[in-house]
Structure formats: C-alpha cells, structure tokens
A and B are shown apart, each in its own frame.
Chain A
Amino acid sequence: MLRFLLNDSIVNEPGVDADLTVLEYLRGPRNLCGTKEGCASGDCGACTAVVGWLESGQLRYKSINTCITLLGSLHGQQLITVEHLQDGETLHPAQEAMVNCHGSQCGFCTPGFVMSLFALTRNPPEPATDRKAHIERYLGGNLCRCTGYRPIIDAANQVLDTAAPTRDKFERNAQETINRLSEIEPASEGNGFYRPRNVDELCTLRARYPDAPILAGGTDLSLEMTQRLKRFDKVICIQQIADLTYLTSDKDHHYIGPCCTIADLVHGLQYLGRDLVNLLHRFGATQVRNQATVGGSIANASPIGDLAPVFISMGATVVLQSIDGKRSLPLEDFFVGYRQTQLLNNEIVREIIVPRSLPVAKSRSSPTSEGSEAGSPIADTLSVLKVYKVSKRIDDDISTICASFYLQRQGDRIETLRTGFGGMAAVPKRAHALEKLVCGKVIDNALIAKAGAVLAEDFQPISDARASAAYRLQLAENLFRRLCIETGPESIVSRVGEHV
C-alpha cells in the first residue's frame, strides 16, 4: 500500500490509480492548490515541490516537477508543498526573501520558485562553486514571464546570505521525520503500481506484464499521460531497486546503473571534463535532472536525447537483461529507428558500460579535456572528449543538435575520431563518413569543407519546430570546425559563454 509523508502527516493511499500524477493528487483529492499547473509537461516549474528521502540514514531533499511525477513513486518519502513551508505565522527564509526582493508579480510561478529556493537551501553551492551558476542551475527550470528574474536572483542571494537558511522547522523536526520515514515498510504492489525489490523480481514482472511501462524517473513516461492522454493501469516502478543505482569504474570502464539520475552523473563523471559536465548541466533543468535516469534516456531512444550521442562517441555498450539472462550490444546498434530499439518486451536496460579511453586508442592520457589541452599538444597525442549542444535557448532546452567528438590528435593531424550526433537523424548515431574522411588527415580548411560535404552523406536531418534541415547540417560542419579550432595550438575564444 502506498504510504508516504505529506508535509507532516503520514498518508495511506490504497486506492489511487497507478498513473496518477502528484500534481493531480495535490490539486484534486488533497485540495492543496498552492502547487500550480503551468504546462503539465515538466517545462515550466510552476508545479515544483520538494521530496525528502533517506539516504544512509540522512534526510536529503530535492526539487521535482509534480506534474511529471507519479504518486506511487513517493512511497516511503516525504513530499513538501508550498503550504507547509511557513512556521506558524513566520515565513520561511525562502518566502521572506521573495517578498523582500519583490520576486513575485502575477504570483503564478511563485510557489514553484519558492520550492526551488527551499531546495537550494538544502543543497547550497560548495565553497568552490560559482554561486551565480549554482543559483541559475537551481532555478533554471522555473519560468517567470513577469519579473525578468532579477529580483528572484536577488532573493536567491538573500536566502544564501541568511546566516542559517536551514535553521528552520524542517531541521528542528529532522529526527522525527527520519523516524517516521524509517517506519514505513517497503511495499511491493498497490492497485497496479508494482515496486519490485530486486532485479529478479523486476524481470519476472517484466515478463508477466510486457505492456506495463517501466517507471524510472518518469520525466518522459508522464508525458504519455499528460500530453498524449494515455492511461496505464499497471506501472512497474524500478526506482527503489538499490542494485540499479550505481556508478563504478575499473581501470578500463565505467559501469553505470540504469537508475542513476542525471544529477548523479554530474558528480560521477566530472573528471571526464568540463564539456560533459556542462552538457549534463544543460540536460533539462534541476527538477528533471533529479528524476531523469540514464536507463530511461537510453531506453526511450529519443533522437534528441543528449546522453546517447556522448556514449556512442565513447564506444559504450548497453547490457540488457530478462528472465532468460543478459546480453550486450554496442549502444550504436541498440537504436534501430525513430524511438525503436532492440529491447525486447521482456527485457530491461541493465547497465551501460563506457570505455575509459578510445576503443581503438593507443592513447597515453586519460581523456580529460582541460588536462590534455594544457599540455603541449604539438608533441604529444591529444586525446579529448568534446561535446557541443546547440539549442534555441541556452538553458533548459532540447538540443537542435548535439555533437560529441572523441578525438585523438597529434599536431595538425587527426589520428582517430569517433562521433555521436543527436538531432541529425531518427536515431542518435555516428557520422561514419566523417570519421572515415578525417582519420589520419591533416586539418586545414579544405578538410573542413570536405567534412561538410560528407556530413550531408551521413545525415539527412529534418526541418521541425527547432530548426531547419539546412541549419542543422551547417551546424554539424561548423561544430567540426570548432572541434578543430579548440583542439588546435592557438587559444581562441570559441563559445559565447566563455568570453571573459
């Protein structure tokens, strides 16, 4: 039976539909209408609430979009809504700062901002982190159409400047909250919402209910309900399976569990370089990164997801599992058509294995973009991962195209190049003709012009809401040009975010 802490009350919900979203639940049966619906697609943040959960006995908090979170996934957790922030008559520092700084105009986005600010108090920037960037990341998934954000940025700064923004009732009640959450027993099934405890149970359920969707983060699955108006009477939730959330490495590979969130990846893959971290920071917004998983991003096979191009360029392998056992295949072969994969209807994505260096490499250095660039690239082989995302809006936008280049370069010569492109075809894929053309070649303008021509063999992109086909092709060529420039001997400013 579904049991969780709604603000400070334990609630039992034996009868809710398996596909009910948290937002529908709050605004419907609970009549907690402070949480707003702005888009019902996880893009505006008006419905933001905060989830508290236990990790190694500690309470942790994260912001989520309630419009794309299923209620069943809250089992054993605490959901905090805007109505519960204040302490008696006293506003929470996050609320107080928004009032003081004139951070609300029409007020419709405000509860969402307040909850993101509350989450910020629980996840403050590390001393070494750029505070401005941290604030923008925490609030980047909350849209405001009135203020122009300046007063909200002020409010965020004010909250962080408060002597002890976390000295609030949540801290006061922390031990009690921990006790109450600890007392909630794991639940296996309720009204079509299945919570397998381990991979074996999962594979059995998967075989039994092949049409039931797998719920990992739910940031894409929920759109089936809210946007495409589908209903699911059965959902298999895998979030609680500890065996599926890990990120480990040995000397040759990274092993990524499918329930790793994008937020987990940011921490786990930092050493792969700034480009990848920047990309991960531009993957949706904080609320989405807190929920969306690696496995989900791969399994839903979106041609505009940003992980697949990176992993393809790195030569990743995907491991699939069913009651019949495991099998692995190169990730680039996993995608077979628009949103179609080799995943059988009794299989799950079990693991992503990413090589630590280029598969064909004789490279001596590990692929860190900064480290290698700082060396002397003329004499040594440069081995580097460069990832470029171009979108209409820089933050919280889907890629027009995403290009990932895993490059080995010696002086002016490209030794090897592996690529991964998103937004250029019905599936994320390599630019084989480009790779073939440039490997072993000296970089010059003629080569780059030729690269543009062969990219048109690799890709016949479509024109859509985000961009025209012609622009996409020109971008692909220009991003290859940028790769050549950025890995070359000269230090040239090549991105609008790095002008200073």
Chain B
Amino acid sequence: MSDQYTVQTQPNNVDAHDSAKAHVTGAAVYVDDDISFGSRKYVAIGGSQVAHGTLNSINLDRVRQASGVIDVITAKDIPGHTDIGPVFPGDPLLTDSQIEFFGQPLFAVLADSQFEARQAVTLADIDITEAPAVLDLQQAIDSQFYVRPPHTMKRGDSDLAFAAADQKTGESGAHSDASASDRSTVINGVVSVGGQEHFYLEGQVAMARVEEDGGFIVKTSNQHPSEAQKLVAEVMAVPVNKVVVETRRMGGGFGGKESQANACCCFAAIFAQRNKVAVVCRLSRRDDIILTGKRHNFINRYRVAFDDGGQIDAIHYELAAQCGSSPDLSDAIVDRAMFHSDNAYYLPNVTIDGLRCKTHTVSNTAFRGFGGPQGMMAMETVIDEIAFAVGKDPLDIRKLNFYNTDDRNITPYHQKIKTFNLPALVDKLEIDSDYRNRRIAIAEFNDANSIVKKGIALTPVKFGISFTATHLNQAGALLHLYTDGSLMLNHGGTEMGQGLFTKVSQIVSSVLGVNTAQIRITATRTDKVPNTSATAASSGTDLNGMAALQAALTLKSRLTDFIVTSQGCEATSIEYTEQGVAIGSKPHMTWAELATAAWQARVSLSANGFYSTPDIYYDRERAAGRPFLYYATGAAVSEVIIDTLTGESRVLRADIIHDVGHSINPAIDKGQIEGGYIQGMGWLTTEELKWDDSGRLLTDGPATYKIPAIADTPDEFNVALWSKDCIDESAVFGSKAVGEPPLMLAMSVWCAIRDAIGAAGDNKVFPALNAPATPEEILRCVTAVTKSSAKSAAQQ
C-alpha cells in the first residue's frame, strides 16, 4: 500500500481534534457566534397547531404590528420553488393549503431579536379546517397509507421453506422418532422500535447575506452544503452559481442536518434579499425538536423457521417505518433497514418487505445508521427468540448463524461476503470480556436476588459502507501550496465533531511528509469544491480522504517532476519531510524554498483531487447487486441490572471490540465508538418520543426527552480496536468507516435488559420487549413475564 500511495508514513496518530484548543477556550466560532456580517436580524417560524387539515385563511396583522417585527412572509412570498424535498417533493418551505403535521410552517417572521420574532409568531390568527389525522404507525400499516411504494428483497424461496417447515412440524408431531435436525420450528413475532431525536447540542441555524451582484452567502450548520446551495438557488430563482454556502463546523449533526438544515438557509436567504440585511434563522430548542425530523420508528414483524439446533432456514420480514408526512430520505432509509435485517447472519431463504408508511407527523429523516439499526433490531430479536425456543445461550445461536466466506456467504440482496472477521472478533471478545463466567455469576446473582436482576448479552454489528444511491459515492478536494511552504486544504466533507478535518489533514500530511501544523484546514465551501455529497453514510473519510489523497499525490508528483528536472536527480532519491525535501547528497531545501522555486518555474501549486468509489452498483428493480464496498464490523458485551419494582435499569459494564481497519487516528476512532455506543444506548433505553392525541409532540425539550447523562456511562467501559485482518476492499490507507456502525453496538444493552427480564420470570416466558426499554416498558415486560410464569407454574 505504501508503494501505491508513495507515502512517507502510514497515518496513525492520536492527534487531538483540529479545533480542540478552540473548543476549550470558547474561540471556536459556530454560526450564531459569527459577527462577520455585522448587525443581524432574526427569524421565527409560525406553524400549524393541528396535525392535518386545510388552511382557509391566515391573518398576520397583529404579527406585523408586534414589537420589533421587520417583515412577515407566507408561501406566496417565496420567489422560486416552494418545495425543498431533497429527493422527492413533499416538503414545502411554507404551505398555503394542505397541512400534514403539527407544527408545519405556515409563515415566518423577521424581527430585531429572536425573542421578538418568537413572540410575534404567537399572535397569528389562523383558520384551518381540521381533517382526521393518521398519527399511529399501526393505523398507517393497516390502511396501507404510504409515502412511497413498498419494496421487496428476496433470495432463496422462503414461502417454499415455510411450507416445508410446517409440514415437518406436523410430521415431527406425528413421528416422535424424527431426528432432531429434521424438525423445524416456526415462530411469528413482532418488535416495535422507537424513533430518536438527534439532540445535537447546537440547534439548526443558518445566516445569509446578499452580495453586490444579487448573490447570496449562506453560513450554515449543515451536513450537505451543496444541497443547501441548490435549494437556496431554486427557492430564490437564481442560478446555482449565485449562491455560496459555507460550513466551518457543526455543533453535532448525526444525520439531523443532512436534509433538515436546508429550511433555515432558505428562510435566511429570502429575508436577507427582501430586507437587505444579514439574517439569522436559528430555531429555539423546542421549535427544533417539533419542526425537524427524527429517526424513524419501526414495527418489525417476522416469521422464522429454524431447526432444533437453532439454525435459521427461512425468514420473512415485514419492516414498516413511520416516515411521517413526506418521503424526505425515507426510501433509502427503509432500504438500508432491509439491507441490515440480516445483520451478521446467513439467511438461506429470505423475503424482506419494506413499508414506507405515511402519518400526519413531522417527516422523519436521516439519523446515524440511516435505518440500519432498526433493521438489525429485527434480526437480533429473532436470534434471542430462537435461543429461548431451543434453550441455548443467544451467543451460541449468533455464532451458529454467522455468515462465512465459503457456502453461507450471500446476502439477501445477493452481495457476496468476501471477508468476514466477526467469528474471530467475537471469539476474542467472548474471552476478553469473560462472557461465559460472567453469565454463570449473573445466574447466581439472580438466584440470590428477588428484586433486582442482572442480564448480559453479546451482539455483533455488520454495517455496509457506501451510499446505496451509487452516484453519491464521489468526492472532491482542493489543496494549495503557498510560496512560504504553507498548505491550505479544502474538501467537500463537513466537520460535525467526528474529526474528519483532522483525519483528512493527517492523510495529506502523510503523503507530503509534512507536519499537520503546516496544513490549514478551512471551512467547507461550495465555491471551493462543488457538487459534493452529504457528509453522511459514514463515508466522510473514505470519500474525502481519498479525494484529498489524490490532490496531495498530484501536487507531490508536480513537485517531484520539478525537482527531478531542476536538480537533475532521480525521483527515488527525493525524500519529503517536515523540514522540506532531502535530495540525495544535495543541499536540503526547505518547504518555502521548494515552493518558491517551483512557483518561479511556473509550476501549478494548486491541485484538485477527485474520487469515486469503484466496483459498486445496485439494481433496485432486481433488488440485487453490490451496494457496499465493504462492511464495518464490531461487537459488544453489555451487562445490565434492572429493578423489577420500578423498571429502572443501569448498564454496569460494556466491553467492545470494533474493527476500524488501519486506524488513521485511534483516539478519534475510539471517540466515535464510545460516543456511538452511548448514543445507541440512549435510543434503546431512556430516549422516548411521545405525542398527544392531537399529534402534538409532548417530549419537546431536554426536560422531557432524556439523552444519556454522564452517570449513565458504564463504570467499566473497555473499548479495543480490532487489530487483525486488514480488509481487501480497502478504503483510504486501509482504514474503515466508523461514524455510524458503533451506534448499533448498543443493541447489546437492549438484549441484556431482555435477558434480565427473562430472569425475573425464571426464564419460562420470552420477554416481548420493545424499544426504547424505558423504566415503564421494562416494568410492563417484567409484569407480563412474571404473570405468565406464575400462570404456567399454577397449571403445572
């Protein structure tokens, strides 16, 4: 690999985040901290107070007269397109007719302060004819109410397999001498998986100013500046080249600023143009939670046939997602749920139906894992239920059903598994975490304790890396060398805390042999690198790191050619270092000397890099192809304790091994793994979204929506990077994507809670636990298993 990239060293430093010092001193500038546009005016958005209906009239006189108000707009004031749906239409910036969710924007106000804008919004007089609303996912499933048509993936013949299994079940009933492996069990089940609010600490915000030529500069906390640029241009009815979008950093994104950050950009641009002032559109926390989409909740139904050993023969899934009022990114999200409903297991005969259900609630959107976690939850529920049915440790059922690279190696979407390190990784984790002994100790603890119960679970993660829309797998980068030897780096990826800028800078520094301090990392801007993809799908480093690598290689090859020509030396005798270049026995040149000399020789010192992921394709019509370049893998063991009187739970210990390939920055990768696990734990435990009967979100702030706090971090938290088996389908420098996959390690928490609940019912009844496992849900489940357990004991 070194030869291929002609690098000096493999990047592998625990460099601090490039902004770490700015973070801790308060010097890091977020959009609302930026005073470079001078005095700014503020936007607030007025929304519907019903979930479904028709807007008859809207009287904004009192709004206009309110203190500090400068301007008020409705849908008719939008100069160009009103719909800002990212893929499909359905997301009007402001609506003037159909209301599809509680809080749907109807008008917007510009005022001197955010407070005055928010106050003014409450004064509108709105007349809406209410219509019956579909607020419940099951209701949408029953009435086949969809935002997009259902989609199915198939491999093998699950219908045939179930028919055979039914017959075998019947036969085995009749012939008790049938051998174990001949028998087959069929189970039907359902698991409900809750949604999740992103709760990035910095809420949605954008700031816009009009340029002298009628163009716009928009600064935004946004994972997808190119899309914001395109949408602002469409909304303002100007060419795309009239809009520059800049994102220096986000105070957290997690998918919530992929499509959801664009409305603020558009509002800011409209008001900036109308009033010729700098405008900030920053949502209050409550507006942010109410107005922007969340992780999709799912109802997953399954029918599974397996033999007496617990090996799966056939599965039929129905994965139904609550998409909310519009398609947004839901087609791809439900597809990804389907792509991951095998998790790490071979399914010989499989049918997966994915439903995109419509409800009159805010349109759900991307969130770390992008549907993948919800699909995997179906699979891990199935595994637990099989283990319960055959009376084995769920870990053994997991191992039994793992893919291999020989004969059990085709996914439900017909991609071949070429490398698969999970069996080895899980074996190591089982030993390192002392899983078997702890399970024994936990059983003893549970025998000795009637009120509190412990549980443990080991769950794996196999997560496909690449955008499943193949065309998005591209990236660009721009690298300048200045005559003093300093470098300026820019690429299409955005920094949301994941350390992307640091890693990409490390890649460039490795290629050129320079210290990262020599490279200035600059804000992502659509006028530097155009037509970029969202920083999403864990692809940030894979794509932008590769593009930056190409730029660095181009620059280096020009410099090498120049040195060879001017110095009359062999290319192989040149060594690039932090100090400059060493050329055999000739005098050393500093970077400033080299850059100046190359400039004087009229060598271009600005290089573009471009990358498109090779060898991936997906035929959605056939539901077959190779959508993923490779898989990221990992596994976690979690141990929990629950209180059977209250349903309260705690995670006592977590052990994780996660594969990041050749880590470019182990400290940053470890940060992603730990952070993902805790965020996933929140999703599956305390983070509960609740609506009232009118479709109003009740959990609209941190007082009612509870993300993990510091004391929720397990006391014992062991995280290791998998150090073997570098993959063949290498991403940049043999590293692996790490943004999303660790979130799903937290399934081990949820499965461990189920294990503990099972113990409360003496393991006589399978606990039909849903997510999130709030205290209320745990107590519901404990009550259910203890009642049925007592009943079955009474019957015996």
Chain A contacts to B: CB under 8 angstroms = 24, 27, 31-41, 43-44, 46, 81-83, 85-86, 91, 94-95, 98-100, 102-111, 114, 132, 135-136, 139-140, 142-153, 227, 229, 390-398, 400, 464-468, 471, 474-475, 478-479, 481-482, 485, 492-497, 499
In whole angstroms, what is the CA distance A86 to B286 when docked?
Answer: 34
Q: Is B566 an interface residue (CB 8 A)?
A: no
Q: B709: which of A32, A36, A143, A492 is its contact (CB, 8 Å)?
A: A143
* A145 with B717: CB separation less than 8 A: no
27 A–B contacts, CB within 8 A, in A order: A27-B33, A33-B30, A36-B251, A38-B203, A38-B702, A43-B701, A82-B26, A99-B24, A102-B668, A104-B24, A105-B671, A107-B22, A108-B200, A108-B497, A111-B23, A140-B711, A143-B709, A145-B707, A146-B675, A148-B674, A152-B710, A392-B686, A392-B706, A395-B711, A482-B646, A492-B449, A496-B452
Q: Is B150 an interface residue (CB 8 A)?
A: no
* A394 with B711: CB separation less than 8 A: yes
Q: Name the residue on A nearest B783 (C-beta).
A: A474
In whole angstroms, what is the CA distance A397 to B701 when docked?
Answer: 12
Q: Which of B528-536, B618-626, B647-655 lies at the interface?
A: B647-655
* A143 with B702: CB separation less than 8 A: yes
Given A91-B21, A150-B717, A496-B641, 10 further pairs, Cβ under 8 A: A43-B701, A136-B711, A143-B707, A145-B254, A153-B710, A391-B775, A465-B690, A482-B645, A493-B452, A499-B454
A38-B285, A40-B285 are known contacts. Are A485 and B702 too (CB-CB below 8 A)? no
Residues of B close to A400: CB separation below 8 A:
775-776
Residues of B close to A98: CB separation below 8 A:
20, 23-24
Cβ proximity bits B359-398 to A, threshold 8 Å, 1 near / 0 not: 0000000000000000000000000000000000000000
Distance to closest chain A CB from B118 (angstroms): 6
Distance to closest chain B CB from A312 (angstroms): 21
Cβ proximity bits B396-423 to A, threshold 8 Å, 1 near / 0 not: 0000000000000000000000000000
Q: Name the residue on B nearest A102 (C-beta).
A: B667
Q: Is B59 an interface residue (CB 8 A)?
A: no
* B645 with A144: CB separation less than 8 A: no
* A494 with B645: CB separation less than 8 A: yes
Q: Name the residue on A nearest B119 (C-beta).
A: A229
Residues of A close to B757: CB separation below 8 A:
none
Residues of B close to A32: CB separation below 8 A:
26
Q: Name the residue on B nearest A92 (C-beta).
A: B24
**Contact size class for B?**
35 or more
Q: B643: which of A110, A147, A471, A496 is its contact (CB, 8 Å)?
A: A496
Residues of B close to A478: CB separation below 8 A:
645-646, 779
A145-B254, A471-B779, A496-B641 are known contacts. Are A108 and B21 too (CB-CB below 8 A)? no
Q: Is B540 an interface residue (CB 8 A)?
A: no
Q: Name the residue on B nearest A282 (C-beta).
A: B711
* A106 with B497: CB separation less than 8 A: yes
Distance to closest chain A CB from B181 (angstroms): 41
* B251 with A35: CB separation less than 8 A: no
In whole angstroms, what is the CA distance A140 to B29 when docked?
Answer: 25
Chain B contacts to A: CB under 8 angstroms = 14, 16-17, 19-30, 32-33, 35, 115, 118-119, 122, 198-203, 249-254, 284-286, 449-452, 454, 496-499, 641-643, 645-646, 648-650, 652, 667-668, 670-671, 674-679, 686, 688, 690, 698-699, 701-704, 706-713, 715, 717, 719, 774-776, 779-780, 783
Q: Name the residue on A nearest B675 (C-beta).
A: A148
In whole angstroms, what is the CA distance A229 to B201 when docked?
Answer: 21
Residues of A close to B200: CB separation below 8 A:
106, 108, 145
Instruction: State the 3 A-B residue pairs at the shortest beta-carbon distance, nearest first.
Output: A34-B26, A106-B497, A108-B251
Q: B674: which of A147, A479, A493 is its contact (CB, 8 Å)?
A: A147
Q: Name the residue on B nearest A148 (C-beta).
A: B678
* B202 with A38: CB separation less than 8 A: yes
* A107 with B115: CB separation less than 8 A: no
* A397 with B24: CB separation less than 8 A: no
Q: Name the residue on B nearest A499 (C-beta).
A: B641
A107-B19, A392-B686, A496-B648 are known contacts. Are A471 and B285 too (CB-CB below 8 A)? no
Residues of A close to B776: CB separation below 8 A:
400, 467-468, 471
Residues of B close to A479: CB separation below 8 A:
645-646
* B201 with A46: CB separation less than 8 A: yes
Residues of A close to B707: CB separation below 8 A:
143, 145
* B202 with A106: CB separation less than 8 A: yes
In whole angstroms, what is the CA distance A227 to B702 when docked?
Answer: 12
* A106 with B645: CB separation less than 8 A: no
